[in-house]
Chain A
Amino acid sequence: MNHDMSASLLLVAPELTLTLAGLALLIWAAFFGDRHATGISIAAVAALVGAGALTSLAPAAGGNAFDGLARVDAFSTFAHVLIYFAAAVAIIIAPRFFRAHTPGGHGLMRAEYPILIVFAAVGMGMMVSATDLMTLYVGLEMNSLAAYVLASFIRTDTRSAEAGLKYFVLGALASGILLYGMSLLYGFSGTTNFAGIAAAMGADFSGGLVFGLVFVLAGLAFKISAVPFHMWTPDVYEGAPTPVTAFFASAPKVAAMALTVRVCIEAFGPTTLDWQQIIIFLALASTILGAVGAIGQRNIKRLLAYSSINNVGFALIGLAAGSEAGVAATMSYMAVYVVMTLGSFLCILQLRDAGGAYVEDIARMAGLGKARPWLVGAIALFMFSLAGIPPLFGFWPKFLVFDAAVRAGLLPLAIIGALSSVISAFYYLKVIKTMAFDEAPADAPQWTAEGNAVETGLIGFTATAISPLGYLAIAPLAYLSGNAALALFR
């Protein structure tokens, strides 16, 4: 038992580190308050980087921790690295934004922000390693609770408060659905362990298990904001502070997607044909609605919300294939998606007028190309990449998921996906057109060129990664995502 315990603790060393760091930072913040926010932020980023480094300790063959409650393998490692990276970026981009939004303008961000991100990261870390319904739920809720607070982080801003409230109420509903599904699964299989559920499903796939499966998938679909469980996304993305939106669009998406993949493959493995139908529906509905819904949007954050719905749909196409290649494609997709999305939000965070206020209205960005040509160039790169236009790296994972779908005999799905990506290209290109080619309106903002070396560096890094140079990463990405997928199908 003792040996088991220490081995288990070693396996979850990254989450353990983050938990301890989070607690320590909390105490630090309690004593010194917001004046130490910068230091706490740096420490939080360091903790995330450290946790990322610790993932390398995971044994190559994978290992079960805590008597089958969690599993650390190539799959969870892949997701961990992405999650911690995205969480760190979410902390790095925050201070400048919150300084601009601090009441009284005393120029400090709140110390709770990095701590909340760290706790959310712990929850997400648990989610991707979960091999038991209990771990799954605890991890998910831990992430969610931190997220509700983050969404309403600027308490004085009604939009932010509204976003937090909506997220919380709908999140509670989703949690209820999830819990109900889990109880059904437990009731009809007699176990909360994924492998046990899979065994029960393989033996006797009863109606109760079907309901359990549908309810659990619906609860997870809420987290990845797949249609029709996406309704919160545009409102929350628009209302939440921009760094938080960037966080929502990246790390939790990866975690929830990884969790969905693991549940589908490990827990529902024997009933692939049944969950496949649901995933296909979610994928189709998400790609189409994500593409169509974005067209009417005037707010850039709202537009990116639909973009994320659309992208999640594409990632689900890979899962819908139900094959190892499909899972690898989904994970590759999420990796590239995180980079593209973070890059886009980094650029949006540069859009401030002379008064320091952030500009989110797309129409007001007309003529930006003349004032900030490099920035518009970067945005163009991200938009083209999100649209999946070939020389850019965003094309590659799209190709992978379509390829996996076609190989799995889902040709119609791939065709509809490709068509919806044509529709989505329209609004991506419209953003570029407005910024680069439209005449600046009379009341155009006076763009400030105020830069920040770290953010500029991050934009440069993400832009390089999704540029054609990104194709150099195909081989390592294929290796890592291939390993991750293999870990599930072993």
Chain B
Amino acid sequence: MIKLIVFLPLLAALVAGLGNRMIGNVVAKAITTGALLTSCALSWPIFLAFVAGNASPSVTPLFTWMQSGGLDIAWSLRVDTLTAVMLVVVTSVSSLVHIYSWGYMDEDPDQPRFFAYLSLFTFAMLMLVTANNLVQMFFGWEGVGLASYLLIGFWFKKPSANAAAIKAFVVNRVGDLGFMLGIFGTFLVFGTVSIPDILAAAPGMAGSAITFLGMRLDTMTILTLLLFVGAMGKSAQLGLHTWLPDAMEGPTPVSALIHAATMVTAGVFMVCRLSPMFEAAPVAQGFVIFIGAATCLFAATVATTQTDIKRVIAYSTCSQLGYMFFAAGVGAYGAAMFHLFTHAFFKALLFLGAGSVIHAMHHEQDMRYYGALRKRIPLTFWAMVAGTLAITGVGIPGLAVGFAGFWSKDAILESAWAAGSLGVEGGHLAFLVGAFAALLTSFYSWRLIFLTFFGKARWTQSEHIAHALHDAHGDHHADSDHDNPPSQEDAGHEPAQHGPAAAGLSDGTGGYHPHESPWSMLVPLIVLSIGAVAAGQVFHHVFVDPEGGLAFWNGSIAFDAHLAHASHEVPTWVMFTPFVVMLTGLWIAYNNYIRDPGAPARFTAMFGPLYTFLLNKWYFDELYNVIFVRPAFWFGRLFWQRGDVGIIDRFGPDGAARAVQGGSVLTGRLQSGFLYTYALVMLLGLAGLATWAMVRF
């Protein structure tokens, strides 16, 4: 069964990708979507069996990959609790995104390719989560990276999409290098790449030392740090996060599937999968806490200033991943996985909702040109509200009712505090940072809702809307794209229905009438809304409760029941802090964007430098540009112009070619056609040879 789950998407991807135009849009879409729905339907029973506690971990061997000396790598599919969680997350979100894409990508000329990529991605992600050894995990790791690259650059005619795809790939390579070194080092130390073997041996390695870069370092620290660098790259943690916001150049369903719900959480998954290794390396854990908390704060601050709806959610993703990491860092792997689980639902929901808004607004992504959409696209509005309630963690502490994010985020914050109290360095700090980030989360999430759905319509200033209206003035509707043949940029746009333009000029709508998205897009929103509302309530006892968690995780992660217990015993003010900051954030957002729309402008005027700093994302891109990109270009030019063209080409191929050409001309000239020349050459040759022979003699 697990084989079906994993390989159906691959099969579908091959059929759709290779069949492409031959089999047509509908067949390709039906095959990929059908395969994913089947995978999803097969995954849930597995997960529920683990929840019910009547399933045991299993490993399904496929075949040997390579065998060389002590290196023994087999393809196999591991199913345990951790995998089961990832299985449902991946297949559910993926199948919903497939369905959603029927509507969103409806007008794209390359639909089979898109669906093939989506399915390929799902396959790679499933290989990653079912890996029983590090090399297979790396295969999946690179596979999702490839799919991510292909999908970010899906509209390859857009230069910005290509640049973003390359950036994602290159930044991920940096992380992958760390991961690779980690794998090599692990093999060096443990003599195996089999995950169960490594995890079994890991505790015994604590405290041993290894020589790395000429220094004696703690073995487990160096290994886990290297592996964590890989996780940082894939999960866009501070330092290697720069690719994620740019990845929003890809189609919105891709952002929802890959850059929110699944691929970016692979780093968290990896840390949890290898949690016994991290448990044996306290220094590395401290680093994980630090990076997680820093990312959490950084991304949340940046998200407050962005105006692109997808970028806000992207930074939000980054920030939420930070939560997961510091949870893993303090040892609350259950909480980290729980947040991963709930986050997948509400973040996919937010992204797909955003996609629905963008779809309705004729590809306008700037929130400054939204407003007053609540009545126009009510279902999308309610779905987005559900997602926002989940991400901001709305719930009532003490009564044990709340949306998904309430359960998981509170579990993380409480775990952090509890860990701090138990002596984990940085635990309390992580709690404070996390709480502040929660305030920011609440603020930017509601800011998004208020800007988009409330207030007055500000659509007239949008070029995209203007474009749509301009088209509507064409002779008749069928010609609406006549001067702009279905380009990739317009993919997924549904020709807007228009009334007389003059009618809406006064109310800021410009006469534009946004329409609710088709059902294929709304159904996934509804399903995910249910998940966002209920996932926490339903599953919290198995993920994070001390007793339930121990039984549920069943050794697949280093679940610390003691810590879980302690996190339920935190002081009341700790328990209420998230609630309070959530309300504060909501109030600030309400005050700034509904009650007093002039407030943000006054604020930016007052704190200009801070605002600019945040708006420019802490100048990370600029910094990297100066530190890495420019020197790299400089070196590239140096080697190209001076080294390659100037030296290698000049004295190598070009020089040789010139010499040969010159020789050819010379030979031609010598071959004059006159007998005396020929005889002279012969005699000179004879004289030369004779002289040489005599000299040697």
Q: Which residues of A does B touch, CB under 8 Å? A: 166, 169-170, 173-174, 177, 205, 207, 210-211, 213-215, 217-218, 222, 227-229, 231-232, 234-235, 274, 277-278, 281, 288-289, 291-296, 423, 426
Contact of B682 among A207, A228, A293, A295 (CB under 8 A): A228
Bound: A229/B683 CA distance, A: 9
Proximity string of chain B (666-685) to chain A, C-beta cutoff 8 Å, 1 when within and 0 when not: 01101101010111011011
A274 adjacent to B697 (CB under 8 Å): yes
Whether B675 lies near A170 (C-beta < 8 A) is yes
Complex Cα distance, B160 from A421, in Å, reads 48
A-binding segment of B305-313, B419-427, B569-577, B656-664: B656-664
Choose among A173, A174, A214 the residue with the greatest number of B CB atoms under 10 Å from its CB: A214
A232 CB contacts on chain B under 8 angstroms: 678
The stretch of B194-202, B224-232, B346-354, B687-695 in contact with A is: B687-695
Q: How far is the CA of A458 from the CA of B696 in the complex (A)?
A: 48
Neighbouring A residues of B689 by C-beta, 8 Å:
214, 217-218, 278, 281
Option from A174, A211, A291 in Cβ contact (under 8 Å) with B690? A211
Q: Which residue of B lies closest to A219 (CB)?
A: B686
- Nearest-Cβ distance from residue A306 to partner chain B, whole angstroms: 8
11 residue pairs from A and B, CB less than 8 Å apart: A211-B693, A218-B685, A228-B684, A228-B688, A231-B671, A232-B678, A274-B693, A277-B692, A277-B693, A295-B660, A426-B660
Give which listed residue, B660, B682, B696, contacts A174 with CB less than 8 A.
B682
A210-B677 Cα distance, complex, nearest whole Å = 27
C-alpha gap A454/B41 in the complex (Å): 73
Q: Which residue of B lies closest to A206 (CB)?
A: B697
Residue in A169, A229, A234 whose beta carbon sits within 8 Å of that of B675 in the complex: A169
B665 interfacial by beta-carbon distance below 8 Å: yes
Tell me which residues across on chain A come within 8 A of B679, comparing CB atoms.
169-170, 173
A281 CA to B690 CA in the complex, in Å? Answer: 12
* B681 cross-chain contacts in A, Cβ below 8 A: 228, 231
The answer for the CA separation of A289 and B677 in the assembled complex, in Å, is 17
Cα separation A283 to B559 with both chains bound (whole Å): 78
Pick the contact of A274 from B660, B668, B685, B696 — CB < 8 Å?
Answer: B696
The distance in angstroms between the C-alpha atoms of A183 and B681, with both chains bound, is 23
Q: How far is the CB of B300 from chain A (nearest CB, A)?
A: 62
Chain A residue, CB-CB nearest to B673:
A235
A166–B675 contact, CB under 8 A? yes
**For the complex, what is the distance from the CA of A293 to the CA of B663, rounded to whole Å?**
7
Contacts of A278 in B (CB 8 A): 689, 692-693
Contact A295 B685 (CB under 8 A): no
Q: Choose from B663, B673, B685, B693 the contact partner of A228 (Cβ within 8 Å).
A: B685
The answer on a CB contact under 8 Å between A229 and B685 is yes
In the bound complex, what is the Cα–Cα distance between A234 and B673 (angstroms)?
9
Among B667, B684, B685, B686, contact of A293 (Cβ-Cβ < 8 Å):
B667
Tell whether A210 pairs with B694 under 8 Å between CB atoms, given A215-B686, A231-B681: yes
Interface contact A218-B693, CB-CB below 8 Å: no
Q: For B677, what are the chain A residues with a Cβ–Cβ distance below 8 Å?
A: 231
- Which residues of A are found within 8 Å of B670, using beta-carbon distances? 231
In the bound complex, residues from chain B placing their C-beta under 8 Å from that of A234 are 671
A210 to B671, CA, bound (A): 30
Given the complex, which residues of B lie within 8 Å of A214, measured CB to CB?
686, 689-690, 693
Across the interface, do B663 and A166 meet the contact criterion of CB distance under 8 Å?
no
Report Cα–Cα, A293/B692, bound state, in Å: 25
Given A213-B693, A231-B671, A231-B681, A292:B686 Cβ within 8 A = no
Q: How many B residues, CB 8 Å from partner?
A: 27
Q: A234-B671, A289-B667 are in contact. List 10 more A-B contacts (CB 8 A).
A: A169-B675, A207-B697, A210-B697, A211-B693, A214-B686, A228-B685, A231-B682, A278-B689, A278-B693, A291-B660
Chain B residue at minimum C-beta to C-beta distance from A288: B663
* Chain B residue, CB-CB nearest to A177: B686
- Contact at B675–A207, with CB atoms within 8 Å? no
A346, chain B: closest CB distance, angstroms: 26
- Which 7 interchain pairs have the tightest Cβ spacing? A228-B685, A231-B678, A293-B667, A292-B663, A295-B664, A296-B664, A214-B690
Please determine whether B682 and A222 come into contact, CB atoms closer than 8 angstroms: yes
Produce 1/0 per residue, B129-169, CB < 8 A to A: 00000000000000000000000000000000000000000
Are A292 and B678 within 8 A (Cβ)?
A: no
Across-interface contacts of A294 in B (CB, < 8 A): 664
> What's the Cα separation between A426 and B692 when bound, in Å?
33
For A215, list chain B residues within 8 Å (CB): 686, 690
Given contacts A210-B693, A213-B693, A277-B693, contact A293 B678 (CB under 8 A): no
Contact A293 B664 (CB under 8 A): yes
With A and B bound together, what is the CA distance between A215 and B679 in angstroms? 15
Chain B, residue nearest A420 (CB)? B660
Within the assembled complex, what's the spacing in Å between the Cα atoms of A217 and B693? 12
Chain A residues within 8 Å of B673, by CB:
235
Bound-complex Cα distance A215 to B673 (A): 25
B667, B688, B692: the one contacting A296 at CB < 8 Å is B667
Complex Cα distance, B685 from A173, in Å, reads: 13
Residues on A with C-beta less than 8 A from B668 are 293, 296
Given A292-B667, A293-B667, verify A170-B682 contact (CB < 8 Å).
yes
Name B691's closest neighbour in chain A (CB-CB).
A214
Write out the residue numbers on chain A whose beta carbons fall within 8 Å of the beta carbon of B665: 296
Residue of A nearest to B662 (CB): A292
Complex Cα distance, B663 from A214, in Å, reads: 27
**B21 CB to nearest chain A CB (Å):** 30
Q: Could you say which residues of chain B place their CB within 8 Å of the CB of A274?
A: 693, 696-697
Per the bound structure, the CA–CA distance linking A20 and B156 in Å amounts to 81
Cβ contacts under 8 Å, B671 to chain A: 231, 234-235, 293
Complex CA–CA separation, A229 to B667 (angstroms): 14
List B contacts of A228 (CB < 8 A). 681-682, 684-685, 688
| Bound CA span A213–B697, Å | 12
A214: min CB distance to chain B, Å = 5
User: Which residues on A sit within 8 Å (CB–CB) of B663?
Assistant: 288-289, 292-293
Query: Considering only CB atoms, which chain B residue lies closest to A296 in the complex?
Result: B664
